[in-house]
Amino acid sequence: MRILKGIQRIPGGMMIVPLLLAAIIHTFAPKALEIGSFTSAIFSSTGLDAMIGLQLFFVGTRLKLRQAPEALKRGIVLLLAKYAAGAIFGLLIARFFGLSGILGIPVLAIFSTVTGANGGLYLSLVGEYGGTEDAAAMSLLNIHDGPFLTMLTLGVTGLAHIPFTNLLAAIIPLAVGAILGNLDADFAKLFSPGLPIVIPFIGFTIGAGIDLGSIFTAGFNGIILALFVVVIGGGFTFLADKYLLRRPGYAGAALASSSGNSIANPAVIASIDATYKPFVQTATAEIASAVVLTAIFVPFITAFVARKFGSGRNDGEHLPTVAEDAEVSR
């Protein structure tokens, strides 16, 4: 039936098709993927961390010591670019329009979405278009996840920290893979096929946590917030990738999304500072909408950037795609 070839013709298809399929299932039958045992372990949203951990391990086996400085540089530049985009834009909106924000979008929603990015989506996209250093940069980009940057921006310094154990836990899979791969190159050959294989599973587990109904709940405001995330947040990271890192820009484009964890940010912030309580319900619905919309459109944007400006496939070393892996197997 050539289903796989049809999926591969879609930009980011190996990520976006499973994501949309899972989102549809979760929207209309939310308990279907949560029946427990092995099904929930690999097909529900609870499996996302395991899938990302596996991909980081696989990437680590291909990461040579000489590539580590480049991976750190890319991670730092892209992290700061995404943070600066949300912080500057959010502070300007707060300065001129107050905490209620603009166009019905509270400042809390802007801080929560524009400063962060969907790490699973980024990993899958650079797995398709990028190189080992792009994927390894995820260890630093994990700082985007959760309310840390939002709290930091809002000045809640007493709680604005990431426990060292959390950072360590994010780095260990990559580090273990890197140790094995540098000790014996055969480990890289052994685990390399796992990179393209895990991408559809990451897409599905991301989609398993998305309710498409959130788009309608937030209405037009959710669409505008998604545009803020893509144009302002993604614009900053694309420009930083292209002109500071002097790269094609696909990695910056792959960060033009909103993290699913950001949906919980308004409630977390309001629990610390009651000033934001009136905005929690509105911000939460709008953020959920932005998460869904950016997860759908960012793969297409990244594919366009990769076609127009080039990708990691043009470098000497890149992560294998599903098609390439199948070709090697034959």
CB neighbour list of residue 258: distance below 8 Å, 6 or more residues apart: 113, 114, 116, 117, 118, 226, 229, 287, 290, 291, 294, 295
Where does residue 70 rank: exposed (0-12), middle (13-18), buried (19+ CB within 10 A)?
A: middle
The C-alpha angle 269, 168, 253, rounded to 5 degrees, equals 65
Structural domain contains residue 85? yes
CATH number for 90: 1.20.1530.20
Residue 12 banded pLDDT, cuts 50, 70, 90: low
Comparison of pLDDT for 170 and 286, the residue scoring more: 286
Would 75 be classed as within a structural domain?
yes
Q: Answer yes or no: is 326 within a domain.
A: no
Q: Is 105 helix (H, G, I), strand (E, B) or coil?
A: strand
pLDDT attached to residue 153: 64
pLDDT digits (tens, 9 = 90+) for 178-198: 889 888 888 878 887 887 788
Is 288 inside a domain boundary?
yes
Is the pLDDT at 156 greater than 60, yes or no?
A: no
pTM for the model stands at: 0.67
Q: Give the CA distances from residue 94 to residues 21, 176, 192, in Å, rounded to whole numbers and listed in that order.
A: 38, 43, 47
**Domain count along the chain:** 1
pLDDT tens-digit series, residues 252-301? 998 898 876 677 677 667 766 777 788 877 887 888 888 888 888 898 89
Q: Which residues form the domain of 230?
A: 15-321
8 within domain boundaries = no
Looking at the domain assignment, is residue 7 inside a domain? no
Does 1 map to a domain?
no
d(CA 88, CA 302): 24
